[in-house]
Amino acid sequence: MSYPYQITSLEAYREAWQRSIEDPAGFWSSVAEHFTWRRRWERVLTWNFTEPKVQWFTGAQLNITDNCLDRHLEAAGDQPAIVWEPNDPQEHHRVLTYRQLHFKVCQFAHVLHNNGVRKGDRVCIYMGMIPELAIAVLACARVGAIHSVIFGGFSAQSISDRLQDAQAAFVVTCDGAFRGAKDIPLKSVIDDALVTCPFVKRVIVFTRTRTPVSMIKGRDVWWEDEVHHVETAGNPPFPAVEMEAEDPLFILYTSGSTGKPKGVVHSHAGYMVYTNYTFVNVFQYRPGEVHFCTADIGWITGHSYIVYGPLGAGGTSLMFEGIPTWPDAGRFWDIVDKHRVNILYTAPTAIRSLMSYGLGYLEGKCLDTLRVIGTVGEPINEEAWHWYDAHIGKGKCPIVDTWWQTETGGVMISNIAGVTPAKPSYATLPMPGVEPLLVDDAGREVEGNGVSGNLCIRSPWPSIIRTTYGDHERCRTNYFSTYPDLYFTGDGALRDENGFYRITGRVDDVLNVSGHRIGTAEVENAINMHAGVVESAVVGFSHDIKGQGIYAYVIMGEMHSDPALTRRDISLTVSRIIGPIAKPDRIQFVSGLPKTRSGKIMRRILRKIAEGETEQLGDTTTLLDPGVVHEIAQGRLGQ
Ligand code: PRX
């Protein structure tokens, strides 16, 4: 057994789960014993879901980077911590051992400190998938600053909104980022964002693409120059700043059912323990193995299972800069072959996309090193599951279908590789510490098996969301008030005859497009920014590759003579306001929207029409103008 808290049999799982529910404090303190603490906790858990207030390991002092870096130096200093595969396969890959990563994180912690970053300050990181992104994240944690990573696909407007919400005075970015055949000018996007953020004092820019950038005197500095100053000073060590267990570690913005993204806050101790615990258990990680999580560090999956989980466990994390389909659709398989990957963790949308390119791209690629394969981010359909099993896992690798959320910090419901049973399209059983339950719309618990309902969690696990940054009430109303004394996930689920959970998708106005969460209200707000738009309504529809696509019904004030041009303009507006990930797949122009007499849009009807159901639309008599439904159904856009 590699880790003392690694579960290696079904009985041990059942026992651990039972114990974790009966005695959470005892259970989690026995896990936490195996970490490095500057001072031990006085109390394991204090909580109520009414405020909500959740505190784990109160009284403890620590720094997550002591656990992710320093403690591995003696025994595993020369082990690879990060293996980085560049966008362009012709470019050399990089390997950073624990010693090298520790060195670079200390260096950059000095850079942050020299530039005025102190404990509690918010630092926004907007970079491509290069090792320096992980270095910046860890350096923030080391100085006690709160990082907020923004995915490279978000627009200047989205960045500005997030910077203002977090009041982040520091930004770390790159000149640009490579993604497939594209070169994204990150610094220039930051410049646009900062027009509305005069409180930003410092922008540190790493050179990646050599795209020309403008540097503002007094505000912008080069990463390389700043590191050079530290070298000139003799590279002094940078002991990690001592943090309280509940000090915030990071803010990560995610979409909800309102128009404004929420800053989900996670704290040091609980997040550290839970990401590590789930990493070594779900994937059954063995020291020395290469773990390849294909997510971007801009999302929670990258935070937890590229950076903190694997490094906390002294593992080797493979980071990939590019995209699965460039230079061709065999890129993942080339990487698995080249770096002898043991664990591959990706999203169903990537699997479906690669499936559509056919098996030719697998030819000649050795996938024999794979031991465990996993999915995350959205429900996986059975066809994709079987393809993944047969062609990637070759029928011998357990597939872990991991359900969790930005707010949960780590995996909540998943089979444990090779230890607990898998079932196609089911996330199956809860992790120790997690007690799921289903409730009906009235909040009554739905008991027994073979039932479905809204998925809730009864009590806190160590990496539960602590607050939404700057607005605790929002955290309460979003997650803890729909059903009193329960955490509500926003997902629907069913529980089969064996007690296995299958997540059926969001039950709120949040879409899951290619595994990315996008609020319909956010997209509507963006569409409405277009000068010609009077009103819009956005719903999801089933999409073969993306899981869900974005379908927009739009009322124009004055219609341009060329609808195709107007559609393009609207898409461009959405791209500008949110980012390309939120561009509608279909835009249908309508003269009105189905509304109730009180003015509420009947999305149920719009969803049905978007799915192609134009006849059985249910009761429309309560609508203000039932005639509009017929018109919309007639004008439905096909493929
Ligand atoms: O609807 C669920 C879906 O993704 C949502 C969480 O999105 P996000 O916070 O962006 O985090 C994604 C990565 C953890 C959930 O509310 N989801 C996530 N994993 C699964 C899933 N749906 C079905 N099966 C999953 N394995």
Tell me, yes or no, whether 250 lies in a domain: no
Q: How far is the CA of 506 from the centre of ligand 1 (A)?
A: 9
CA distance 56 to 460: 9
The yes-or-no verdict on residue 1 having pLDDT over 70 is no
Residues 197-219: what's their mean pLDDT?
Answer: 98
Question: Over the chain, what is the mean pLDDT?
Answer: 96
In the structure, how many helices (H) and strands (E) does the chain have?
Answer: 20, 30
Tell me, yes or no, whether 353 lies in a domain: no
Scanning 123-222, the segments in alpha helix (DSSP H) are 131-143, 156-166, 186-194
Nearest CA to ligand 1 atom 6: 405
Nearest CA to ligand 1 atom 14: 405
Burial of residue 471, with CB atoms counted within 10 A of its CB: 0-12 exposed, 13-18 middle, 19 or more buried: middle
Residue that is last in its domain, among 213, 241, 269:
241
Q: How far is the CA of 278 from the centre of ligand 1 (A)?
A: 16
The yes-or-no verdict on residue 639 having pLDDT over 70 is no
Q: How far is the CA of 480 from the centre of ligand 1 (A)?
A: 18
Cα angle 182, 188, 193; round to 5? 120
Q: How far is the CA of 489 from the centre of ligand 1 (A)?
A: 10
CA distance 15 to 634: 57
Do β-strands 510-513 and 501-506 pair in parallel, antiparallel, or remain unpaired?
Answer: unpaired
Q: Are 423 and 439 in contact (CB under 8 A)?
A: no
Ligand 1 contact via 72 beta carbon (within 6 Å): no
Tell me, yes or no, whether 142 lies in a domain: yes
Could you read off the pLDDT of 511-554 as tens digits, one per residue? 999 999 999 999 999 999 999 999 999 999 999 999 999 999 99
Q: Tell if the pTM clears 0.75, that is, is over it.
A: yes
Nearest CA to ligand 1 atom 22: 378
Burial of residue 258, with CB atoms counted within 10 A of its CB: 0-12 exposed, 13-18 middle, 19 or more buried: middle
Nearest to 107, CA basis, from 234, 214, 257: 234
Q: What total of structural domains would you count in the chain?
A: 2
Nearest CA to ligand 1 atom 23: 379
Residue that is last in its domain, among 190, 208, 241:
241
Tell me, yes or no, whether 444 lies in a domain: no
Ligand 1 contact via 300 beta carbon (within 6 Å): yes
Tell me, yes or no, whether 452 lies in a domain: no
- What pLDDT was estimated at residue 618? 79
Could you read off the pLDDT of 33-84 as tens digits, one per residue? 999 999 999 999 999 999 999 999 999 999 999 999 999 999 999 999 999 9
Please report which confidence band the pLDDT of residue 638 belongs to, taking 50, 70 and 90 as the band edges: low
The residue length of the chain stands at 639
83 vs 136, 141, 179, 289, CA distance in Å? 16, 21, 18, 12
Tell me, yes or no, whether 336 lies in a domain: no
The CATH number of the domain where 146 resides is what? 3.40.50.980
Burial of residue 532, with CB atoms counted within 10 A of its CB: 0-12 exposed, 13-18 middle, 19 or more buried: middle
Could you read off the pLDDT of 259-302 as tens digits, one per residue? 889 999 999 999 999 999 999 999 999 999 999 999 999 999 99
Could you read off the pLDDT of 223-244 as tens digits, one per residue? 999 999 999 999 999 999 999 9
Tell me, yes or no, whether 582 lies in a domain: yes
Q: What strands lie across the sheet with 436-439, from one edge to the other?
A: 436-439, 451-457, 487-495, 501-506
- Residue 284: which region, alpha, beta or left (left: phi > 0; alpha: psi -120 to 50)? left
Tell me, yes or no, whether 71 lies in a domain: yes
Per the structure, the complete domain to which residue 629 belongs is given by 510-634
Residues 617-636: what's their mean pLDDT?
Answer: 85
Q: Are 192 and 223 in contact (CB under 8 A)?
A: no
Tell me the sheet residues that pair with 125.
Answer: 149, 172
Nearest CA to ligand 1 atom 13: 377
Scanning 429-562, the segments in alpha helix (DSSP H) are 472-475, 520-528
Ligand 1 contact via 379 beta carbon (within 6 Å): yes
CA distance 173 to 108: 13
Spacing of C-alpha 502 from chain mean position: 20
The CATH number of the domain where 575 resides is what? 3.30.300.30
Residue that is last in its domain, among 241, 265, 300:
241
Q: How far is the CA of 425 from the centre of ligand 1 (A)?
A: 13
Ligand 1 contact via 270 beta carbon (within 6 Å): no
- Residue 99: which region, alpha, beta or left (left: phi > 0; alpha: psi -120 to 50)? alpha
